[in-house]
Amino acid sequence: MIRIPALAALALALPLSTAHAAWPEKPVTLIVTYPPGGTVDTVARIIGPRLSARLGQSVIIDNKGGAGGMIGGAAAARSAPDGYTFMLDASNHAQNPALQSKMSFDTLKAFDAVSLLLRVPNVLVTSPQGKIASVQDLIRNGKSANPAYFASAGPGSAQHLAGELFNVMAGTSLVHVAYKGGGPAMVDVMSGQVPIMFASLGSAWTHIQSGKLRPIAVGGDKRSAVLPQIPTIAESGVPGFSSYEWNAVFAPAGTPKAIIDQMSAALADVLKDPEVKAKLEGIGAELVGSSPAELESFRRAEIQKWQDVVKKSGITIN
């Protein structure tokens, strides 16, 4: 657990609403549902100091990683809805309900939406010597008698589901290879041991820059600002394909709406900070800063989307 002290420049903070004018009166805890060192943790540590300045209180980053975000989710769900505990979660927030039959909490009932912070598109990558050079190559391969393998960070991971989404939408039969983490998976793709991976652009970006990975197509709704020359999967032959890894903030259900609205506004302001913006966009993120209502609509659509993919692909985790 790491405490980020409140910065002295409290003049940056805008006036809070009168309904909960005293909030926050003490440090605010942000439960991060993934361990230190990963993309979600990186996002927390980028926004943490500016959020502390905006709120005028320390923000305590509390990493509770494991089980695809469910350990941190369970801890957040048990927390008091008093405005002093929030949760920074990722796209597994919407994927776990479709994959896991033994969750200790109901995702929609346990949390109130606060703000969708950002989206990072998946990117289809291969080694520089890889034989698959385009989405059309992959479609032909995936419909052959010996379809290619694709790597992921593990069963039910965002990369796994992106590959299954491709199979469902392109009519292919690419074969999943699960690793214990995204790092080992990416190493084997770089070496050519496994032909492809639907990686997070944030995780793959440094390897793309160094030439160790070759991007084939981007999984977002539009081309990435950091890879403008690389087409999307949708424009390359799989219309409607869209796969992002995203980060959003939630609160325990029952948290006062006035506090949720204040936190949402504070987060939106933090994302406008030039330094924060530059750091997040530097890892391929598309900044959003949504309202609570927009996040609620988004997560319900995401849950339905991944339920459909899991059903059609026959994925089972437990």
Residue 140 in tokens? 């032909």
- C-alpha–C-alpha distance, residues 12 and 109, integer Å: 35
pLDDT at 11: 38
Q: Is the pLDDT of residue 229 over 80?
A: yes
44, 270 contact by CB (below 8 A): no
Residue 210: CB atoms within 10 Å: 9
- C-alpha–C-alpha distance, residues 185 and 157, integer Å: 12
pLDDT band (50, 70, 90) for residue 270: very high
Q: Is the pLDDT of residue 150 over 60?
A: yes
- C-alpha–C-alpha distance, residues 293 and 221, integer Å: 21
- C-alpha–C-alpha distance, residues 9 and 50, integer Å: 10
3-class secondary structure, 287:
strand
pLDDT at 15: 47
Scan for tokens 């993934």, then name that residue. 34
Exposure pattern of 141-159 as b/e (b: 16+ CB <10 Å)? bbeeeebbbbbbbbbbbbb
Percent of the chain with pLDDT over 70: 93
pLDDT at 9: 39
Q: What is the pLDDT of residues 282-299, one digit of tens each?
A: 888 999 999 999 999 999
- The DSSP code sequence of 18-69 is GGGTT--SS-EEEEESS-TTSHHHHHHHHHHHHHHHHHTS-EEEEE---GGG
Q: Is the pLDDT of residue 2 over 70?
A: no
Q: Is the pLDDT of residue 131 over 90?
A: yes
252, 111 contact by CB (below 8 A): yes
Higher pLDDT, 183 or 17: 183
Residue 103: CB atoms within 10 Å: 17
pLDDT at 5: 55
Q: Is the pLDDT of residue 89 over 50?
A: yes
DSSP state of 11: G
Q: Is the pLDDT of residue 43 over 70?
A: yes
Judge if the upstream peptide bond of residue 24 is cis by omega within 30 degrees of 0.
yes
- When pLDDT is averaged across residues 220-249 and rounded to a whole number, the result is 96
115, 249 contact by CB (below 8 A): yes
Cβ neighbours for 138, distance < 8 A, ≥ 6 positions apart: 124, 132, 148, 166, 170, 172, 174, 196, 216
pLDDT band (50, 70, 90) for residue 68: confident
DSSP state of 256: -
pLDDT at 149: 98
Q: What is the pLDDT of residues 192-212, one digit of tens each?
A: 999 999 999 988 999 999 999
Scan for tokens 């979600």, then name that residue. 40
Q: Is the pLDDT of residue 18 over 50?
A: no
pLDDT at 67: 86
Q: Is the pLDDT of residue 20 over 90?
A: no
pLDDT band (50, 70, 90) for residue 12: very low
Amino acid at 96: N
pLDDT at 8: 37
pLDDT at 90: 95
Residue 272: exposure state from Cβ atoms within 10 A (0-12, 13-18, ≥19): exposed
pLDDT at 3: 58
